[in-house]
Structure 1
Amino acid sequence: MKRRNFLKNAGMAGVALSTTPSLISQSALNNLKMLKPSPVAVATWNFQNATKMAGTMLYSGASALDAVEKGVMIEESNLKNTTVGNGGAPDRDGNVTLDACIMSPEGNAGSVVYLKEIEHPVSVARKVMEETPHVMLAGEGALQFAIQQGFKKKNLLTEESEKAWKEWLKDKEYKPIINIENHDTIGMLCIDENGDMAGACTTSGLGYKMNGRVGDSPIIGAGLYLDNEVGGAVATGMGEAIMKSLGSFLVVELMRQGKSPQEACEEAVMRTVNKDPNYKDFQIAFVAMNKAGEIGSYCIHKGFTYAKYYEGESTNNPSSSYLNE
């Protein structure tokens, strides 16, 4: 499809999306299915190395599913990122435990929680999705499955993370840090050259969390959700708040009802703001993309950004926010 015609059709779809919610399940959805925008990769925070990996793959003909997996794996291996994968900050007992999930264009999903000693939990999550009848595996069961699938055990507690943990033990003070939340989850959405969408989310969770704590990142509908007919969303920030609203699912459903990605993200954040009197004490943020490749993001506190790779250009983009202090 020529770009001029694509933009014309995208505009027509946008008009349909802005009308009554009933239209989204009929003509607007049909228009979105027909659109095949240029491939695009988007991720929470300034993880441009991850989106560049995914985007380069997409423009080489890779599927959205392969791209999101390989993209977030960049941060799982990044020892300088103490919030994802290898080198992640441990819980208060010194255990590095990882959570991840992945969703395919067909709506299939896989997830692992409280996984130890495996550098790439997103790849284990994909194996859960593709090789088992289940969606989620946890703890020792997830580790056993990973080993059976050929993954190698590895000590994920680096010297730097262990030193920081021992320093934390001196005071054992725990409180969220705005725009850090003691972690920066990476959630990623991709559209491939066929117009199909996939998503992934991976994290080591809150630094110095209670042993056994699991946040929103591996929960389908909370940290990640997508519908290949409508679009997808990923979340980051205080996982407990995101889980209470099933934020990513909410964003996608709002897009299904006719809202733009930006409008959907804003309403999802406002659900938390309106219901939690302590909302100023933590950050939550959403990034959404619809089938036309339109992107929106919103957060409580100023400072959240998202990375995007589109037509060879990699950018870090500031998100609008409810509070602008």
Structure 2
Amino acid sequence: MYGMIATWRMAYEGVEDAVRQLAKGTGAGDALVAAIRAVEDEEYYKSVGYGGLPNEEMVVELDAGYMDGDTLSIGCVGAIRDFSSPICIARALSDEPVNNFLVGEGAEKYAHRHGFARKNMLSERAKIHYQNRVKELKQTDRKPYSGHDTVGMICLDIQGHMTAGTSTSGLFMKHAGRIGDSPIAGSGFYVDSQVGGASATGLGEDVMKGCVSYEIVRLMREGKTPQEACEQAVRHFDAELRRRRGQAGDMSLVAMNNKGEWGAATNIDTFSFVVATAQQPPTVYLVKRDETGNAHFEQASAAWMEDYVRTRKAAVERK
């Protein structure tokens, strides 16, 4: 048995390549990092890696996290600038005995010392997105932070080894130095090869209030299926935030257990994810919520898939 599940349609190509490698015996660490790198390197996916959404100073600051489900080792970077593969740096940090979470200048010094490639991560498209948003804010009451998607993945290899990883540019026009849930173990991701793993995307400031990824793994440890665990954790914490604070930010999670069973849940109208196992080819699903709040899955149509790519690759014009 092997498998992989990932947040958002943007992960599809990376997952597709990774599961081919898993079928040949590639380990969960190498497969997961390769799949996330495919998203980081694609400039048209504007919330991860190259071409990611800039902060308020028009600087791309990236966050990433990696976890080994066998050893529970973690490696994380936050607010790192001008390095092309945050997930690779995070994985390298997971091998260190201490200093596993580095941010800003410290993360950049570590990456430089260890030979990671420097790259200006601000693409021309990202500049135009930023400049357009600045103009919009002068004319409307739209929130500057609108637009943020994390790629998060859980991977299981044929040896039963599991890994988890995330990568993101975070909130659009965030304050310099802001870090959300994505690189924080237990919030943005968590995995234990004896149980399974989970990963989150959404408004980090709210997701990390509940350590939702860890909660899903805890529920799976108690015997819940991945789907039951996702639904229970998301529904409960969404309700708790609304009770205590009057509102809850976007929250979508995916999970896979060590049997290759999977699940997903969300508190937004539509959320897409990608899953593949030894029995199931890479498939994109949409999680949709009806007027009563109940969620259901449907496989993304060919037209939806084509439209997704077309809209993201469309030319960006200055307003």
Query: For the superposition of Structure 1 and Structure 2, which TM-score range results when normalised by the shorter chain?
Result: 0.7 to 0.9
Within the candidate set 28, 37, 44, 1:64 is matched to 28
Tell me the distance in 1 between the aligned counterparts of 2:144 and 2:268.
13
Structure 1 spans left out of the alignment, 5+ residues: 1-37
TM-score w.r.t. length of structure 2: 0.85
Instruction: State the match for 1:26 in structure 2.
Output: none
Q: CA deviation at 1:134?
A: 2.2
Instruction: State the match for 1:251 in structure 2.
Output: 216
Tell me the distance in 2 between the aligned counterparts of 1:125 and 1:99.
9
Residue deviations 1:263-312, cap 9 Å, x none?
A: 11112112332222277664211111111111011101231121012237
Instruction: State the match for 1:323 in structure 2.
Output: 293
Instruction: State the match for 1:224 in structure 2.
Output: 189
For residue 297 of structure 1, give the secondary structure of its aligned residue in structure 2: strand
Tell whether the 8 Å contact from 1:176 to 1:281 is kept in structure 2 after alignment: no
Instruction: State the match for 1:134 in structure 2.
Output: 99
Question: What is the one-letter code of the residue matched to 1:301?
Answer: I
- The correspondence of residues 277-316 of structure 1 with structure 2, limited to 5 A, is 277=242, 282-311=249-278, 313-316=281-284
Tell whether the 8 Å contact from 2:144 to 2:173 is kept in structure 1 after alignment: no
Tell whether the 8 Å contact from 2:226 to 2:263 is kept in structure 1 after alignment: yes
Q: CA deviation at 1:195?
A: 1.4
For residue 75 of structure 2, give the secondary structure of its aligned residue in structure 1: strand
Within the candidate set 178, 188, 212, 2:153 is matched to 188
For residue 75 of structure 1, give the secondary structure of its aligned residue in structure 2: helix
Tell me which moved more, 298-307 or 91-100.
298-307
Tell me the distance in 2 between the aligned counterparts of 1:131 and 1:262.
34
Instruction: State the match for 1:41 in structure 2.
Output: 4
Tell whether the 8 Å contact from 1:230 to 1:252 is kept in structure 2 after alignment: yes
Tell me the distance in 1 between the aligned counterparts of 2:119 and 2:234.
37
- The correspondence of residues 58-137 of structure 1 with structure 2, limited to 5 A, is 58-104=22-68, 105-137=70-102
Tell me the distance in 2 between the aligned counterparts of 1:301 and 1:185.
15
Structure 2 spans left out of the alignment, 5+ residues: 296-319
Tell whether the 8 Å contact from 1:216 to 1:239 is kept in structure 2 after alignment: yes
CA pair 130-281 structure 1, distance change in 2 beyond 3 A: closer
- Aligned residue pair count: 285
CA pair 324-266 structure 1, distance change in 2 beyond 3 A: closer
Instruction: State the match for 2:111 in structure 1.
Output: 146
CA pair 280-65 structure 1, distance change in 2 beyond 3 A: same
For residue 301 of structure 1, give the secondary structure of its aligned residue in structure 2: coil
Poorly superposed stretches of 4+, deviation over 6 Å: 278-281
Question: What is the one-letter code of the residue matched to 2:59?
Answer: N
